[in-house]
Structure 1
Amino acid sequence: MDILILAVVIAVVVLGALAGLVVGSRRKKQLPPPPPAAPDITAPPAEPHVGDEAETPRDEPRRTIEEVDLPGGGAPTAVEEPPVVEELPPVEIEVPEPTAGRLIRLRARLSRSQNALGKGLLTLLSREHLDEDTWEEIEDTLLTADVGVQPTQELVEGLRERVKVLGTRTPEELRGLLREELLKLVGTDMDRTVRTEPETSKPGIVMVVGVNGTGKTTTTGKLARVLVADGRSVVLGAADTFRAAAADQLQTWGERVGAYTVRGPEGGDPASVAFDAVKEGKEMGSDVVLIDTAGRLHTKTGLMDELGKVKRVVEKHAPLDEVLLVLDATTGQNGLVQARVFAEVVEITGIVLTKLDGTAKGGIVVAVQRELGVPVKLVGLGEGADDLAPFEPEAFVDALIGE
């Protein structure tokens, strides 16, 4: 019995010892390391410490900046190209109609105009008895046509003498008689050439003056077309600085025929613009410089003095070859008043009559020539670009008396 108890005790001790060994071995066994923590993307990258060696570069080809993705993983943003500016087509240069061709057309147009002056005179002269009352009517007809008092008296006296000698008067004889007397008044021996070729050196300098509304700026542009048609190179001076529209209009005329326009700021000094235009014309070797001046009312003394200043400043470069006065043929005697005032400020060398077609005031040609002692050189017979032509006394008189 004692032996059995002893055996049980020994067995228990052995089992206890074995259990202690197992537990001890388990306590000595290391646990596996914990998994690494996720990196904090908000924390700044670790910087190398002093003494750390740089990482050995990788043997990979370098990438260009275009191949490197920007933050965000998106595709590289395309650089916006500047917009393509379309080139405007060049301004088409017009070829003006030659002077000879337009003369034929204008002569026909003037002849077709129903002018009361010539018809009225022929009707009165065709009466069987030319008494004093008839001659007074003839005088009234001439005065109404703005021929002027002195020229009217000369014409009536010449007609009375010729009719008395002639005796019998057929329509053809009367027309021939009236034509001869009118040609005497208009004048066939006056030099009507527009002087644009100086004898010493070019360019020729032409100044255009006149009251606003007479077609002064338009006439300057049309004259440029006449000169270009004759093979001349032209520079335009927009010295009418008080009207921006005048400078724009003149530049448009110039661009159409390839003429260069010199202009200044609105309200600037007209004399300065005129001076620059002549200077530019010399540097460019142009044949002619046309200067369009301000056309203020002739009653404003200060502005008329300014016109005189433009003339003096231009003549510092070279003398003026022409000073053309533009008059509206429909203004009649008021045009004579304008002519007198402008003649006092600048020396007028020629007259341009606009709106001459179909008017009963054609006698202004005689009156203004007699008033200023200078010839009508150019006439405008319409609104077209080429409706400006040299004045022809014979064609004008033939148009007055009709066919």
Structure 2
Amino acid sequence: MMNNARTYLLLAGLCLVGVLAGCIKEDFSDCPSPVPPVPEDEGGWLDLNLSYTMHNRMEDGSYADRFAEEIKKVDVFVFDQEGSFVTGESREVERTGGKEPYSHAVWLPEGDYQVVVWGNRNEAEAACLVGPGSTIETALLSFSDEKRRGLVRLLSDSLFHGMTEKPFPVVAGERRSVSVELMKNRKDIRLLVRWREKGADKDSFCADSSHFDNLNALIIDDNGTYDFSNRPKSGDSIAYVGGDFPNAERYDAAFHPEGKLPFAERTFKRDFSVQRLMVDNRPTLNLYRSTSRVYSYPLLRLIQRVKEYATQEDLDREDRFLIELLFECDHPEEPEKPEEPKDPEDPEEPRPERPWRLISVSVNGWNFIDKDIEL
């Protein structure tokens, strides 16, 4: 019990932030405690029963709890009834192998409390801005980092969030159980871009290598920082950089369950791991040729053409989005011209990029554009 009480009194090094800059020792014994210690008989034990069922609907309509399979670590933050920060701790999830919900025990002085839980937070990717003097309204989780300059590459794991719906009492000498349901914030997006030459057969794709020259993709969103109710704070834009998911076979099977992988020589592919897509935000999907943007479109306007993703709950329940864009191209044969001597003082101007014309879009298998359309 004393070990648990000691854990309660420490902040456990949850966040690398200025308010905790004085914590030096590995056991965090020099961290400031936001509340004075009290005798153990003046407090009680809180058992947080954590689960993750939101995305996991079974064929019979029930929901499976996949907490033990997907969540490796939890950061637990406790606030009092007025919202002031009380304590926090980070703990690796112990695998019990049983069917009972995972339980996280915290000892607290008698009082009314609120709890926020983040799952699988990677300290190298996301910092918690919370400490003595913080409140549940001012506490933040941020992906922004000056070293990354607003660029976020493929994330190492899925971030989860959960919180109690309202304050609950802890009574001295009693043990209280409270359930917290977590939701997954991370969305995996695979972007496939192809070209079809004007007038070509519907099932043929252009393999001209010039389409791929210095081409790259970014998703820009206003969700670099979240408050502790899991809503992004406006004004903190970040750019998610496309790459290739590790463990390619696993992701290929998830995005292409029928086993039909796109031809690499005819397809531009980029994978993204982004944070929670919000209906109130305006993320954009952008394609760049070197530093010139050649295509940009609101990501949710693409996704929400599919009625199954019309609401915030619909977006929250979907883990993966396969977005396929088909553009029209034209490669007319140009007559050969005799080369003229070049004047070194008169450099040749680069040829402007032709406008990109989108002719077909597919989102998770739904085709909702199949005609020439100007965007």
Do they fold alike, i.e. is TM over 0.5?
no
The structure with the largest alpha-carbon Rg is 1
TM-score, scaled relative to structure 1: 0.20
**Higher percent of residues as strand:** 2
Higher normalized helix content (fraction of residues) = 1
